[in-house]
Amino acid sequence: MNDARPNNDSRIVLEFRIKGMDFTTAGEAATGIKRTMTQLGMPADMIRRVASATYEAEINVVIHAHRGCLVAKIGPERIEICVEDEGPGIPDIDLAMQDGYSTAPTHVREMGFGAGMGLTNIKRCVDQMHLDSVVDKGTTLRLLFFSKGRE
Amino acid sequence: MADYYHSVTLDAEKCKGCTNCIKRCPTEAIRVRDGRAWIFEERCIDCGECIRVCPNHAKLAVTDSLDLVKAYPKSVIIPAPAFMGQFPTPDPGVVLSALRLIGFDEVYEVALAADAVSMAMRRYLKEHSSPRPLISSACPAVVRLIQVRFPALLDHLIKLESPMEMAAKIAKDTLGPEHGVFFVSPCPAKVTAIKQPVGRDKSAVDGAFSMSAIYAECLRQMEHAARAPLIPKASGYGMGWGRSGGETTIMGRDSLAVDGIHQCIKVFEEVERDKLAGLDFIEAQACVTGCVGGCLAVENPFVARVRVRNLAAERGAHGEEATPGLEQRLKSDYFTYLSEVKARPVLRLDDDISRAIDKLRQLEAVEDQLPGLDCGACGAPSCRALAEDIVRGYADEMDCVLKLRERVHGMAEEIVDLARHLPRSMGMKSHTQQSEDDDGEAG
Ligand SMILES: Nc1ncnc2c1ncn2[C@@H]1O[C@H](COP(=O)(O)OP(=O)(O)OP(=O)(O)O)[C@@H](O)[C@H]1O
Ligand code: SF4
Ligand code: SF4
Ligand SMILES: [Mg+2]
């Protein structure tokens, strides 16, 4: 599931695989990252922001893409999260970022997803966010969190 | 006083070190060492999961002895709402009378205080527009779980005293401070909440008796009590607090009830991810079925839950006022916590984040070397927990039986290998030959 790779800077690196339409394992990255942050004694509000954003990002891969990979780099002052997926990509990123915009199919909406609020929620939680996408190839979402509020 | 009080304790004589309990613990607070269980005091939240799972009855909930009553000039007994569910055909008036006949001057129903707390909670909901959902603080095991594992949710806790605490406070305020107040407890968590409260320095409750012990005492008084029943004052709403779902009935449609500590954890994870922000209120109880499922209760929890539900339905909305001047008191801070509820960051590896990161990296390196079977034979609940113990200096890699076997295997091979080599003095032919040749060349 996840492993800590040797790296020279003092950061913890966690890696998670995400499978499209696999709702049973969705949330494992958010839970794993939260556990790590708790063991590190990171501030409660930051744990919460990271847990919310990670979960939304994970679920987006589950719902909208085929498969993906989430890498979290956790340092004393900042956390970087990168979610890369293979999937349909997002044709119009500005549109996708709008509140309420969703292409989630009906059966997914019936499960309570697809309000079109995920990306908005992520934006609210992070200090920086970059979304890149190539249609028919995939999407990359980079998130950055600082432990001392927005810098 | 010791740093931590816990009602949950171990009877070392009975413990066989079977490791059944270590995996059930929601805060990974138990380890088996030297053939018996040990509890990390700073982690234990007194939820009672280990008491329920132990096949040898080696875990117990310490409660007070009835003799404690003698230390007070007057006494009041306050039964938890779940108590009514213990009797086959509960007649609340008779049960209350039996309780008093055991040897108390007065009885005050915790269910009646629950009626007042219900009103205070609805008011709290109106006055605090965020955060959402609010989480009930009535179950002390849940409050402690949040302190240890969900510090980000401390803001969500309703900072109002539990019906138990309020019952004791009201009883003392109305009957007089010379009264000792004694709680009939369904669980160790409540006992700990009395001995070492959260949200206040000292509890108004003076002692806690086990529900099962009081049940037995009550049975002896039933016949006599039936002839002179008391009149119950709590409404069906207050009585309903004894089971899961009781609080949500008063908190409106946008509320959710969850029972069982492991299910509570799942729901809190959702709250932490902001997935339940559409809800107003969460009733969370550590025991499956709610307080009727407490480990000091007598009756089957599901049977008791139906009884409490039916009793509450029969009783309906009719009830008396919990205390004179209730309206005024609801407007004041009579029901609120006196002190702040703080996080208990006992899971963190170090006070300093950078050092914690170093330790976590060591932990993951150690975990990589362990077999990943989570068999528990080392006495820790999982391989990762053993890795954590090793990094904290509490354990050694050789505590892992598979690691030990690997090592023994390696050593055995080495011994066999060594045994093949005969010392030169015993002379192996080829060896001798070689030496002579060497000598020859040199000469
Ligand atoms: N990883 C992704 N791959 C492809 N499309 C995506 C991806 N992430 C988001 N999108 C597109 O952006 C839209 C908006 O995403 P957003 O997370 O805000 O809403 P949603 O996932 O549809 O609903 P909600 O998150 O509220 O359940 C999605 O409906 C989808 O069209
Ligand atoms: S379950 Fe725990 S307390 Fe009970 S005998 Fe086994 S190790 Fe001991
Ligand atoms: S649910 Fe009730 S009985 Fe169980 S631990 Fe909480 S307060 Fe005690
Ligand atoms: Mg989404």
Q: What is the ipTM of this complex?
A: 0.86
pLDDT digits (tens, 9 = 90+) for B124-153: 999 999 899 999 999 999 999 999 999 999
Residue where a domain terminates, one of B263, B297, B331: B331
Regarding whether B425 and B369 lie in a shared domain, the answer is: yes
A133 in Cβ contact with A140 (< 8 Å): yes
Query: What predicted TM-score, i.e. pTM, was given to this entire model?
Result: 0.91
Ligand nearest to the CA of B210: 3
- Tell whether B340 is within 8 A of chain A (Cβ): no
pLDDT at B139: 98
> Is the C-beta atom of A84 inside 6 A of ligand 1?
no
Regarding whether B237 and B170 lie in a shared domain, the answer is: yes
- Domain-located, residue B1: no
Regarding whether B72 and B51 lie in a shared domain, the answer is: no
The mean per-residue pLDDT over the stretch B417-442 comes to 62
Q: Which CATH number belongs to the domain containing residue B163 in this structure?
A: 3.40.50
- Domain-located, residue B382: yes
Residues of A in contact with B151 (CB under 8 A): 44, 47
Identity of the residue in B347, B350, B365 whose CB atom sits nearest the CB atom of A38 = B347
Q: Which CATH number belongs to the domain containing residue B14 in this structure?
A: 3.30.70.20
pLDDT digits (tens, 9 = 90+) for B230-239: 999 999 999 9
B243 in Cβ contact with B291 (< 8 Å): yes
Cα dihedral A23, A24, A27, A31, rounded to 10, equals 180
Which atom of ligand 2 is nearest to B10's Cα? 3
- Domain-located, residue B151: no
- Tell whether B273 is within 8 A of chain A (Cβ): yes
Sign of the Cα torsion A22, B277, A147, A118 reads positive
Would you list the DSSP string of B350-380? -SSHHHHHHHHHHHHHHHHHS------TTSS
Residues of B in contact with A126 (CB under 8 A): none
- Domain-located, residue B280: no
The residue segments making up the domain with residue B217 are 66-133+156-223+233-243+289-331
- Domain-located, residue B256: no
Percent of chain B with pLDDT over 70: 96
Regarding whether B123 and B31 lie in a shared domain, the answer is: no
pLDDT at A9: 67
Q: Domains, chain A, ranges and CATH?
A: 3-146 (3.30.565.10)
- Give the separation between CA A135 and CA A43, rounded to whole angstroms: 38
Which H or E run contains A80?
Answer: strand A78-86
Pull the structure tokens for residue B440: 């020859």
Regarding whether B213 and B80 lie in a shared domain, the answer is: yes
Which atom of ligand 3 is nearest to B290's Cα? 1
Identity of the residue in A40, A48, A76 whose CB atom sits nearest the CB atom of B152 = A48
Regarding whether B123 and B98 lie in a shared domain, the answer is: yes
Cα–ligand 3 centroid distance for B191 (angstroms): 10
- Domain-located, residue B428: yes
Pull the structure tokens for residue A132: 């890149």
Cα–ligand 4 centroid distance for A21 (angstroms): 13
Residue where a domain terminates, one of B278, B298, B331: B331
Residues of A in contact with B360 (CB under 8 A): 4, 12, 36, 39-40
Residue where a domain terminates, one of B37, B61, B85: B61
pLDDT at B420: 86
pLDDT digits (tens, 9 = 90+) for B329-378: 999 999 999 899 999 999 999 999 999 999 999 999 999 999 999 999 99
- Domain-located, residue B338: no
Regarding whether B193 and B320 lie in a shared domain, the answer is: yes
pLDDT above 90 for B428: no
Residues in chain B: 443
Regarding whether B169 and B110 lie in a shared domain, the answer is: yes
pLDDT at B390: 97
Cα–ligand 4 centroid distance for A86 (angstroms): 16
The mean per-residue pLDDT over the stretch A70-95 comes to 97
Residues of A in contact with B43 (CB under 8 A): none
Residue B180's contacts (CB-CB under 8 Å, 6 or more residues apart) are B68, B69, B71, B72, B74, B75, B76, B206, B207
Site residues for ligand 2, CB cut-off 6 Å: B 10, 15-21, 32, 37, 54, 56, 58-59
Which H or E run contains B30?
Answer: strand B30-33
Residue B294's contacts (CB-CB under 8 Å, 6 or more residues apart) are B48, B82, B185, B186, B187, B190, B211, B287
Regarding whether B324 and B176 lie in a shared domain, the answer is: yes
Ligand nearest to the CA of A83: 1
Regarding whether B311 and B435 lie in a shared domain, the answer is: no
Cα–ligand 2 centroid distance for B121 (angstroms): 39
Regarding whether B317 and B355 lie in a shared domain, the answer is: no
Residue B74's contacts (CB-CB under 8 Å, 6 or more residues apart) are B105, B106, B175, B176, B178, B179, B180
Q: Which of B1-15, B279-293, B380-394 has the lowest mean pLDDT?
A: B1-15
Identity of the residue in B274, B357, B365 whose CB atom sits nearest the CB atom of A52 = B274
pLDDT above 60 for B266: yes
Q: How many domains does chain B have?
A: 3
- Give the separation between CA B80 and CA B211, rounded to whole angstroms: 9
The mean per-residue pLDDT over the stretch A28-47 comes to 95
Regarding whether B297 and B375 lie in a shared domain, the answer is: no
Identity of the residue in B149, B349, B368 whose CB atom sits nearest the CB atom of A40 = B349
- Domain-located, residue B324: yes
The mean per-residue pLDDT over the stretch A7-12 comes to 74
Residues of A in contact with B269 (CB under 8 A): 27, 30-31, 34, 51
**B-interface mutation test, from A36, A48, A122, most B Cβ less than 10 A away:** A48
